[in-house]
Amino acid sequence: MACSALICDSEPWKDLKGHVEDIKKTHLRDLMRDSERCKSMMVEFDGLLLDYSRQCARQDTIQKLFGLAEAAHLKEKIKKMYDGEHINSTEDRSVLHVALRASRDTVICNDGKNIVSDVWKVLDKISEFSERVRSGSWVGVTGKALKDVIAVGIGGSFLGPLFVHTALQTDPEAIACAEGRQLRFLANVDPIDVARSITGLNPETTLVVVVSKTFTTAETMLNARTLREWISAALGSEAVAKHMVAVSTNLTLVEKFGIDPNNAFAFWDWVGGRYSVCSAVGMLPLSLQYGFSVVEKFLKGASSIDQHFYSAPFDKNIPVLLGLLSVWNVSFLGYPARAILPYSQALEKFAPHIQQACMLTTTLSFNMESNGKGVSIDGVPLPFEAGEIDFGEPGTNGQHSFYQLIHQGRVIPCDFIGVVKSQQSALFMFLLDCFTGEVVSNHDELMSNFFAQPDALAYGKSPEQLLTEKVPQHLISHKTFSGNRPSLNLLLPCLNAYNIGQLLAIYEHRIAVEGFIWGINSFDQWGVELGKSLASQVRKQLNKSRTKGEPVEGFNYSTTTMLKKYLEAKSSIPCDPTTLLPKA
């Protein structure tokens, strides 16, 4: 198939389309009876276990998906990514986040230059700087140690680092390294977020890390200015040099902002914002909080998956299998959403991060920015749906909110992510339940649900079963579960920095696989631009009206009315910048 042709015109795509009716004839509970099938749908790698036997698929489905992968030139596309070809063609950039976690001796080239040495120069700088701050040899302007860090950034410059920080926060090794330190994030331009980020912190002991790939993002720049004022107002403007550092690809703007370029940590345009957690974007704040050894372990976990993704045969390749199954669910079975359900509270920020990477909802984000596209990489409108709506919440909390929908409402393929050894296993021993006499630990209770939910979704409960249970006739339809709802399980041995790195890389590569198959560009994000430029027109109007009393004009009836109401209601609030500064 020529690269510019749409994948839906290929024979394997048409074959899979025809295969759907065949698959729909067999209920998952019947597919699950075939233990050979189930055995073939389990993959182990580096301590991880993937079980995808509860997908509405047979072995021949998987073979057909491999045929689709071949038609889409998946192997070649993966190689092109690792080879540094400009696969982000709309921005004319390579996509090399794998270089961010490559070992020192690896050679990965961008435009003919080995970039791994550049990566390690920055990592070494992060290691050295964070050690100085943590040990108290780099102090604030009043001579006090900087024990608190606020990372200011949004989107990809926020969600990934927040996910990793939240996941590490309860890991015993990370806890020991973070003693006496705090890491906070400031993302939203909402003054509430500003207030939350600084409440209880003393500027004298706070380091602000401004994280922005472009150093132009409106929210981040405003928040950075606000925190600069917060520091200057308390300690004088010369304090900025000691209390503010930056992470960016745009070192010129960093300097213009007033941050010494020596205190800036670079990354590169071949790192997409939502794929940037392994660059200084995540590594600097995380290293300040946990120390470089923890951060290095995280990078090693991600690197292990990078090598696996590059070299494992497709039938043993976790990201490839996950990506192909997503394509199967979205484009063939017609399930547009996916629930990401970690049975670990430590992973509560995982789904929000993956939403962006992919393109998700309340807990939506990473995949949705990557694969939420309407045209192929060549600009041709797609005659099929691509991307999915990712959302999620840790179990068991989610079970008490939206699981009703996934059990008896819409069919939403689910990723169940579980952990064998809890980060907190030492704290909670096995306790005797005085009602049932069973001995159970919190983690076993959690994992009982992790193991039970996929079967509930797959098998369901038939009216016949309900009748044998003597359920009254009028409740039979209410209590019937159709089952046949696909899910998969990913079991991690534990949740330390290494496994967190593995998990991140698995999902990053899964998104790439989906995009490679659909033939879209998973690495640009033009869809966010329109809203930004419209916000800038509104900002200009608000400024004119608030400072010069100019009338609202140039908007449609709806927006004009809303803006007038807003301005009228705010007319009693003074527009004096000095009154709006947060108090230290």
Ligand X SMILES: O=P(O)(O)OC[C@H]1O[C@H](O)[C@H](O)[C@@H](O)[C@@H]1O
Task: Provide the minimum distance between the beta carbon of 184 and ligand X in the complex, in angstroms, as a whole number.
Answer: 18
AA letter at 481:
F
148 binds ligand X (CB under 6 A): no
157 binds ligand X (CB under 6 A): yes
Task: Provide the minimum distance between the beta carbon of 387 and ligand X in the complex, in angstroms, as a whole number.
Answer: 15
Subset of 180-219 contacting ligand X (CB under 6 A): 212-214, 217
Alpha helices in 98-147 (DSSP H): 116-135
Looking at the Cβ atoms of 156 and 519, the one nearer to ligand X is: 156
Report whether 552 contacts 563 (CB < 8 A): yes
Looking at the Cβ atoms of 131 and 269, the one nearer to ligand X is: 269
155 binds ligand X (CB under 6 A): yes
Spatial distance between the Cα atoms of 222 and 240, rounded to a whole number of angstroms: 16
154 binds ligand X (CB under 6 A): yes
Task: Provide the minimum distance between the beta carbon of 220 and ligand X in the complex, in angstroms, as a whole number.
Answer: 5
| 238 Cβ contact list (under 8 Å, min separation 6) | 141
535 binds ligand X (CB under 6 A): no
| 75 Cβ contact list (under 8 Å, min separation 6) | 69
Report whether 502 contacts 516 (CB < 8 A): no
Alpha-carbon dihedral angle through residues 208, 209, 213, 217, given to the nearest 10 degrees: -20
| 11 Cβ contact list (under 8 Å, min separation 6) | 71
156 binds ligand X (CB under 6 A): yes
Task: Provide the minimum distance between the beta carbon of 560 and ligand X in the complex, in angstroms, as a whole number.
Answer: 27
Spatial distance between the Cα atoms of 565 and 306, rounded to a whole number of angstroms: 53
AA letter at 450:
F
Looking at the Cβ atoms of 215 and 518, the one nearer to ligand X is: 215
The tokens for 8 are 């839906």
Task: Provide the minimum distance between the beta carbon of 529 and ligand X in the complex, in angstroms, as a whole number.
Answer: 8
Nearest to 45 by CA among 502, 450, 355, 399: 502
Tell me the Cα Rg of the chain.
26
Looking at the Cβ atoms of 275 and 335, the one nearer to ligand X is: 275
Adjacent-strand bridge partners of 366: 355
The tokens for 254 are 């960093």
150 binds ligand X (CB under 6 A): no
Residue 429 is classified by DSSP as -
Task: Provide the minimum distance between the beta carbon of 385 and ligand X in the complex, in angstroms, as a whole number.
Answer: 21
Q: How many residues bind ligand X (CB under 6 A)?
A: 14
Looking at the Cβ atoms of 163 and 402, the one nearer to ligand X is: 163
Q: Which of 400, 421, 565, 570 is catalytic?
A: 400
Local structure of 481: helix, strand or coil: strand
Instruction: Give the angle 60-62-68 at the CA atoms, nearest 5°.
Output: 110
Beta-sheet pairing, 42-45 with 48-51: antiparallel
Subset of 272-301 contacting ligand X (CB under 6 A): 273-274
93 binds ligand X (CB under 6 A): no
What DSSP string runs through 342-392? ESSGGGTTHHHHHHHHH--STT--HHHHHH--SB-TTSPBPSS--S-EEEE
Q: Which of 204, 348, 369, 388 is catalytic?
A: 369
Q: Length of the chain in residues, anyone?
A: 584
- Whether the upstream peptide bond of residue 396 has omega within 30° of 0, thus cis, is yes
70 catalytic per annotation:
no
Looking at the Cβ atoms of 157 and 399, the one nearer to ligand X is: 157
Looking at the Cβ atoms of 154 and 324, the one nearer to ligand X is: 154
532 catalytic per annotation:
yes
Choose, by CB under 6 A, the member of 197, 220, 345, 496 that binds ligand X: 220
**Chain CA centroid to CA 164, Å:** 10
Spatial distance between the Cα atoms of 406 and 20, rounded to a whole number of angstroms: 21
Task: Provide the minimum distance between the beta carbon of 283 and ligand X in the complex, in angstroms, as a whole number.
Answer: 15
Alpha helices in 2-72 (DSSP H): 11-24, 28-31, 35-40, 59-71
Task: Provide the minimum distance between the beta carbon of 532 and ligand X in the complex, in angstroms, as a whole number.
Answer: 8
Spatial distance between the Cα atoms of 31 and 91, rounded to a whole number of angstroms: 45
Q: Which of 532, 540, 565, 570 is catalytic?
A: 532
Among 34-42, 148-156, 334-342, 399-407, the segment contacting ligand X (CB under 6 A): 148-156
Looking at the Cβ atoms of 304 and 525, the one nearer to ligand X is: 525
242 catalytic per annotation:
no
525 binds ligand X (CB under 6 A): yes
Report whether 265 contacts 122 (CB < 8 A): yes
524 binds ligand X (CB under 6 A): no
Spatial distance between the Cα atoms of 217 and 136, rounded to a whole number of angstroms: 32
Task: Provide the minimum distance between the beta carbon of 292 and ligand X in the complex, in angstroms, as a whole number.
Answer: 23
Direct distance between the N- and C-terminal alpha carbons of the chain, in angstroms, rounded to an integer: 62
Spatial distance between the Cα atoms of 160 and 157, rounded to a whole number of angstroms: 7
Looking at the Cβ atoms of 13 and 158, the one nearer to ligand X is: 158
Among 35-43, 151-159, 337-345, 535-543, the segment contacting ligand X (CB under 6 A): 151-159
Looking at the Cβ atoms of 38 and 375, the one nearer to ligand X is: 375
Residue 568: CB atoms within 10 Å: 9
Task: Provide the minimum distance between the beta carbon of 154 and ligand X in the complex, in angstroms, as a whole number.
Answer: 5
Among 86-94, 101-109, 155-163, 471-479, the segment contacting ligand X (CB under 6 A): 155-163
Task: Provide the minimum distance between the beta carbon of 394 and ligand X in the complex, in angstroms, as a whole number.
Answer: 24
Looking at the Cβ atoms of 107 and 218, the one nearer to ligand X is: 218
352 binds ligand X (CB under 6 A): no
Spatial distance between the Cα atoms of 116 and 120, rounded to a whole number of angstroms: 6
Binding region for ligand X (CB under 6 A): 154-157, 212-214, 217, 220, 273-274, 369, 525, 528
- Active site residues per annotation: 369, 400, 532
